[in-house]
């Protein structure tokens, strides 16, 4: 199965300018993500998508493949969709977020697992989730929660603490991780969907898919990895790397 992995790398991040090029240990963040994706045996090709010449030069310097995209894209998914049009042989396309330097190849395989079985219908879209730490994550607006139905399809994503536990019973709520994969033809449709009220209210792009009546298959992994969105996240990442390389 031909699966394309695209890493959207936006230089002008609002909260951390130049994010793809910040150094974590001895490598820029975009290189960490690229090398993890390259180690995933499920991917046929891995490319970085950017509108920044600085990012493109960095990727070429470490030997990666880069595609230049429009500077008018609002989201990383739009950038991924543009690149996907240049790879018509791909059956599915993974959006490997460029702010996840510690993503593991096995997590990426779990993300695209539904596309690896040619005997089953391919889902429009998949995403990844792990068990929710109710003590620290349930009330944290930075931890996105996802509710699933009995078939592991997403019912709703929210920054709010959901569901409301009036009764103490187990509920299918998980910690959502910002990794996505798409059936290639659906990705082209998705890029044309208009923004929706719940998406704009929660600032969660994936809600656009649900509001337009499509489904998202939720795949599962064991633990979350650190995403780099703020200077504080970067300090934590650099600390983790420093500890891991000590003799």
- Mean pLDDT confidence for 1-25: 89
Q: 156: Cβ–Cβ under 8 A, 6 or more apart, which residues?
A: 146, 147, 162, 207, 210
CA 32 to CA 98: how far, in whole Å?
9
What is the pLDDT, as a whole number, of residue 75?
A: 84
Give the whole-number percent of the chain exceeding pLDDT 90: 78
Of 61, 118, 121, 84, nearest to 7 (Cα)?
A: 84
Which residue in this structure is represented by tokens 């779990």? 110
Q: Which fold has domain 3-244?
A: Spore Coat Polysaccharide Biosynthesis Protein SpsA; Chain A (3.90.550)
Tokens found for residue 182: 């798409």
pLDDT digits 0-9 by tens, 15-33? 778 899 999 999 999 999 9
Question: Please, is 34 exposed, middle or buried when counting C-beta atoms within 10 Å of its C-beta (0-12, 13-18, 19+)?
Answer: buried
Summary mean pLDDT of the chain: 93
- Mean pLDDT confidence for 21-48: 96
What is the pLDDT, as a whole number, of residue 74?
A: 81
What is the pLDDT, as a whole number, of residue 243?
A: 75
Entry pTM: 0.92
Which residue in this structure is represented by tokens 């045996």? 41
What is the pLDDT, as a whole number, of residue 246?
A: 39
Q: For residue 18, give Cα distances in angstroms to 15, 54, 62.
A: 10, 9, 17
pLDDT digits 0-9 by tens, 126-147? 999 999 999 999 999 989 999 9
pLDDT digits 0-9 by tens, 60-110? 999 999 999 998 888 889 999 999 999 999 999 999 999 999 999 999 999
Which residue in this structure is represented by tokens 């960095």? 58
Give the per-residue SS3 of 5-33: EEEECCCCCCCCCCHHHCEECCEEHHHHH
What is the pLDDT, as a whole number, of residue 76?
A: 86
């Amino acid at each position: 199965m031909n699966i394309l992995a695209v890493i959207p790398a936006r230089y002008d991040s609002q909260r951390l300018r130049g994010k793809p090029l910040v150094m974590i240990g001895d490598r820029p963040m975009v290189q960490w993500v690229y090398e993890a994706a390259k180690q995933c045996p499920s991917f046929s090709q891995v490319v970085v998508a950017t509108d920044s010449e600085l990012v493109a030069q960095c990727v070429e310097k470490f030997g990666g493949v880069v595609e230049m995209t429009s500077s008018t894209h609002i989201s990383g998914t739009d950038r991924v969709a543009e690149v996907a049009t240049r790879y018509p042989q791909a059956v599915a396309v993974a959006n490997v977020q460029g702010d996840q330097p510690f993503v593991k190849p096995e997590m990426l395989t779990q993300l695209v697992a539904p596309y690896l079985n040619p005997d089953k219908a391919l889902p429009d879209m998949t995403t990844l989730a792990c068990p929710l730490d109710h003590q620290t994550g349930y009330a944290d607006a930075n931890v996105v929660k996802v509710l699933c139905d009995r078939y592991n399809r997403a019912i709703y994503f929210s920054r709010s603490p959901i569901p409301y536990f009036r009764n103490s019973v187990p509920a299918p709520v998980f910690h959502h991780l910002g990794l996505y994969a798409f059936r290639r033809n659906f990705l082209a449709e998705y890029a044309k969907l208009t923004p929706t009220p719940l998406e704009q209210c929660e600032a969660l792009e994936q809600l656009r898919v649900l509001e337009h009546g499509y489904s998202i298959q939720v795949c599962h992994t064991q633990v979350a990895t650190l995403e780099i969105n703020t200077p504080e996240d970067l300090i934590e990442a650099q600390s983790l790397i420093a500890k891991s390389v000590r003799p």
